Structure 1
Amino acid sequence: MSFNEINNLVVPQGYNGLRKLKSLDLSGVGVRDGSKLLQSIGSFSSLNSLYLSSNNFTETVTITTQELHNFTNMEYLKLDDSPLHISLLQSIASIFPLLKNLSMIGCEVNGVIRGQDFPHSKSLEHLDMEFMRIALNTSFLQIISESMSSLKYLSLSYYTLGINSSETLNQGLCSLVHLQELYIASNDLRGSLPWCMANMTSLRILDVSSNQLTGSISSSPLVHLTSIEELYLSNNHFQIPISLEPLFNHSRLKRLWAYNNEIKAEITESHSLTAPNFQLQSLLLSSGYGDGVTFPKFLYHQHDLEDVHL
């Protein structure tokens, strides 16, 4: 139903249809009243994918106790006699504890998010919040790590993570040990990648491009992320040796985009491995190289290359 002129969605009270509905796409429909929206779709008890991208919801979602009793999956929220004033995200987590996929790309949600008593979304695996505009009063990443421990996909690109420091990532993100895809591009993150990221050994795709990150990849947690298949480091201030030797053990690496970083010459020609374990398909290393950089010899061992920028 996405991108239609729907400004009010009404499902009659007691409606028993669509009990097997698995996926609902209400992206860009113009519904501003988040309360009424959740009152309407809360009866879809089998929902596991919800798409709300490109909507601008009103400031606070208010749900009364009686309305909450009408929902079917209410194991995770304590009820009392007063209306609840909680954010849209908290409401979704409460009403749909079985939800696996949630997309809120480009949404504007100004409600307060509270970490205390935030309902646990143990089933949520995919959370996409690119271009999200949201007012926070606590560490959002900490809330995610404590209440969404099953996440496999998380996108916060083009988002303001807060204090513009890579230490922001320490606030819970590294405990998401099941995470396979992490996108945090264009957040003005500064400093070096925190070492706790070395524990995120399930990562297949990591995108930290277009930040202000620094440090040598030879002494970074990237060395330990050997399950990486796609690594996006472009538009930062990383120090990357032209040999790519720190990544030689990354046997699954297929795509490396690292343009506009500090590409460094080799200090010595002796390498622990004569050839890398990876076979790249796409390599972008364009940069203002300095003097003394020689042609990268690891390219002699690459046979699957389709796209190379030097």
Structure 2
Amino acid sequence: MKTEKHFSIKNFMASYFPSDLSKKGDEIVFLCLDENHTFPEERVQIHFYMIIAGLKGRCKIKAGSHEFLIKANSISIIPAATWIGMEKTAEAFEAQVILFDQDFLKKGLANHEILNDLLFINPHYPPTFPLKRKQVADFVYQFGKVAEEVSRQAAFGMEMIRLYLLQILYEYNRICEICLLNSDTTINRKFQIMHRFRKLVDEQFKTHKMVADYAQQLHISPKYLSECVAEHLGHSALKVIQNRILQEAEISLSYTEKSIKEISNELNFGSPAHFARFIQSHTGKTPTDFRKKP
């Protein structure tokens, strides 16, 4: 019987890139692939995230239920817990790859819900998108800086890598939204609703805190709005609203001199006590905790 293979970053590197293992870490790895050095053809399950920037040629990859090409001028993200396999290619092929654990990024973020949003990869679509020339240049620069910091292992290097990874993830999500908004599919209608909902939340989260408030503006039922959001983001519409409020609250608490009462009033909570309960129930911290300097 064939043995199923499950890999952490360390085990994956030891099995398929042993010559590079000595200079790589357990949480973050930078690799260069070509036609002679690719991932295994056999299907293996990875327990880490993989970002692939296609630079030259093409190579077929299987990821979960999808089979697609890593092409020149493309960006792909393979989420953790995915079964992957990459076919050998005879043509010239080049790609840069970043492997990282989710916990590695969590160390640099107070609000893990934001990270969960960035790392959610919609299972309905192949997780790969074409890039324009300027986008290619941006990703090549960011990948290069990650590679530089991994190699240097200098002071604050891990913090710098986290910042570059967040830039890459935000840009990937932006490209994903643009591509899906311009696509012509049945699923696209739900995506457009989700996209319009998130824009409304950004504009109105201080005054509108209920899903029904937004559903009414979109002329749909709260239930259908929640279905659209859950399908594309992996969590509820209410969670989107709460996360946006949390993001604003944490910024105000951490980086402004406003009093807790002032912030509570700006976010339209009934009282500072109500605001404090909201913060603590979602983060495990009190508003005062965010004021404490590390």
**What TM-score do you get using the length of structure 1 for normalisation?**
0.31
Largest Rg, 1 or 2: 1
